[in-house]
Structure 1
Amino acid sequence: MEHLKGLQALLVRPIQPDGHGDEILSAKLIAEGALLHHFPVMKITPLESSLNQDLISHYILNLFLYDRAIFVSRAATFFVVDWLKRNSDLMPQVLPVGPRYYAVGKTTATELKKYNVDAELPECEFSSEGLLGLTSLQRLAGEKILIFSGVGGRQLLPDQLRSRGAVVSQCELYHRKISTDYTRNINDLLYSNKLGVVIIHSGELLAHLVSQIPGEGLNKLKKLPLLVPSERVSLLAKNMGFQYIICAPSALAEDIISVLSGWCSNQR
């Protein structure tokens, strides 16, 4: 049954570095009858300077020395595995046995599983907060932890791990940069008055989207239903003036589809 039949949805998540978009969510939206407009407002690009590459090589080659390794995203997994493939003369194309591995979310854990890594992850809240709630990350005195991530972003995870006694290093692998490739498409879609919902996966994506919509278009955007993956992003959206927010329990495709289908049913 097509629960979302006729619904026009805007998805702004970036294309992943492996060349794929959010194919699971996209496929499910289309299968449920939605008309999907995927217009990314962010690009994920690798850190390519010689200094950055030297640092990345140092961290990966010494990964076996760490007690725990945390992958914060699917992109982080991709870039580490890509390094292993390009440097097979320095290190086997596998992640070393020894560290205890963690993933912030299910998609990241699924990617790691492809390389024979069973990563621990939260049961339901797939976020830094959820990861920090794991029993195995409560007492960390003297433990060495390596976090694979992008440049910048929230510092909650490393800060909290340090407060619990861990010695934390961060291996930054990629930039998240605003993309304006689809600015005109997004504004044209807003002024068509046919858009039914906007799907946002993070506060950063929301900020990038808002920055590309001037004048009356921004007023139109803030009146549209906005689907977000957490109470934290919901609060950010409210503070930005969004009037109608639908909050899913997580960014998982099944949670987004479930909440969106329920919302659509109530609108009919």
Structure 2
Amino acid sequence: MGSLSGLKALLVRAIQHNDLKEDIFISKLRSEGSDVIHLPVMQTVPKNQSPDINHINEYIVNYSSYNIAIFVSKSSVYFLLDWLKNNKKDYSDGLPLGPKYYAIGKTTADTLKNIRINAEYPKQDFSSEGLLDLPSFSAGNHQKVVIFSGVGGRKLLSDQLKVRGFLVHNCELYSRKCLKDFSSEINYLIGSDALDIVIIHSAELLENLLSQVLSRNLPTLKMLPILVPSKRIQCLAESFGFKKIICSPSASTEKMVSTLRECYSNFL
């Protein structure tokens, strides 16, 4: 019997874009006995219209001129590789070695390592704040940086690097859209008291979830324990009225699962 045996968890993050048959996070939870129900409230869509392709192409053509390349998520790695395979035959097997590579966290760094790219990343705080604390980003001296990300999201990393003297370029590879395909199932699970916990990986996911939960189910949802990956999202959840918030030190699979494991017997 696993350490999370009997735990019924709702996971709402987007389907992960990789070649694996099953999400690593889901696989780990299930291996420990949890019954994970994955009902995404977000989808990621590549930017593949003509203006977008031309815009992305400018960054790739000038890739060798960048001193630093930053990837903010696994999705940014996958979508760039897909774009290269479809549009740049010279790079169809992977990324060039020119810039120094950085990742927002271990999971993104591991994804880059799978394509033979070694990226530096924060060892504790897997976030923009953690990346900015690395010695490499203390002063820019006009170094050119390209940040691969999705449309929108936090601007802290880009803004702070500019303040510190880096020349920052943002290459947006995909967009995030609220997905409401599973609203009925989500409301049924909440309304029937069928869940033990909800797992939230980002502020946007929390907002998307709240936007499609019926008003009669909101009090029940806000009394459920939720697992979040940072103090920032914990504060947001508190502002929305959630009462039982479990905060992991980071969004990595290892930290999220170990935090849930530690709290399971006492908190749930």
- TM-score class, shorter-chain normalisation, is over 0.9
Q: Distance in 2 between matches of 1:267 and 1:57?
A: 50
Check whether the contact 2:81–2:92 (CA below 8 A) recurs between aligned residues: no
1:158-173 residue pairs with structure 2 within 5 A?
A: 158-173=158-173
Q: Aligned ranges for residues 46-125 of structure 1 at < 5 Å?
A: 46-91=46-91, 93-125=93-125
Which position in structure 1 is the counterpart of 2:14?
14
In the other structure, the counterpart of 2:198 is 198
Q: Is this contact kept in 2: 1:196–1:224, CA < 8 A?
A: yes
When residues 242 and 267 of structure 1 are mapped into structure 2, their CA distance, relative to the original with a 3 A threshold, is: closer
Is the contact made by 1:13 and 1:22 (CA closer than 8 Å) also made in structure 2? Answer: no
Give aligned pairs, total: 268
1:217: how far off? 0.5
Q: Is the 8 A contact 2:121 2:131 kept in 1?
A: yes
CA root-mean-square deviation: 1.6
Give, in angstroms, the shift of residue 199 of structure 1: 0.5
Distance 1:222 1:21, change over 3 A: farther
Change (3 A) 1:96 1:37: same
The answer to whether the 8 Å contact 1:198/1:226 transfers is yes
**After TM superposition, which residue ranges in structure 1, 4 or more long, deviate above 4 angstroms?**
19-22
Tell me the equivalent position of 1:224.
224
Task: State whether residues 15 and 21 of structure 1, in contact with CA within 8 Å, keep that contact through their aligned partners in structure 2.
Answer: no
Q: Which segment drifts farther, 9-18 or 92-101?
A: 92-101
Q: Which amino acid aligns with 2:151?
A: V
The one-letter amino acid of 1:251's match is A
Q: Which residue of 1 aligns with 2:126?
A: 126
Q: Which amino acid aligns with 1:93?
A: D
TM superposition shift of 1:19: 6.5
Once the two structures are superposed, residues 217-237 of structure 1 have per-residue CA deviations (whole angstroms, 9 ceiling, x without a partner) of 111100100110110000000
Distance of 2:200 and 2:21 partners within structure 1: 14
Aligned to 1:175: 175
CA–CA separation in structure 1 for the residues paired with 2:35 and 2:93: 40
Kindly provide the CA deviation profile for residues 123-176 of structure 1, in whole angstroms up to 9, marking residues without a partner as x: 111110110010111111211100000000000000000000011000000000
Residue 28 of structure 1, CA deviation: 1.4
**What's the offset of the Cα at 1:190?**
0.5
Unpaired runs of 5+ residues, structure 1, are: none
Identity %: 48
Number of the residue aligned with 1:38: 38
> For the Cα contact (< 8 Å) 2:103–2:119, is it kept in 1?
yes
Name the CA distance, whole Å, in 2 between partners of 1:231 and 1:97.
35
Deviation sequence 1:89-111 (CA, Å, 0-9, x none): 35463322221110001111111
Deviation sequence 1:57-116 (CA, Å, 0-9, x none): 111221111010101111110111112222343546332222111000111111111221
How much has 1:4 moved relative to structure 2? 1.2
Residues 9 and 36 of structure 1 are in contact (CA less than 8 Å); yes or no, is this contact kept in structure 2? yes
Name the residue aligned to 2:148.
Answer: 148
Q: Distance in 2 between matches of 1:87 and 1:109?
A: 24
> TM-score, normalising length from structure 2?
0.96
How far 1:262 sits from its partner (Å)? Answer: 1.5
Q: Which amino acid aligns with 2:131?
A: L
Distance 1:94 1:61, change over 3 A: farther
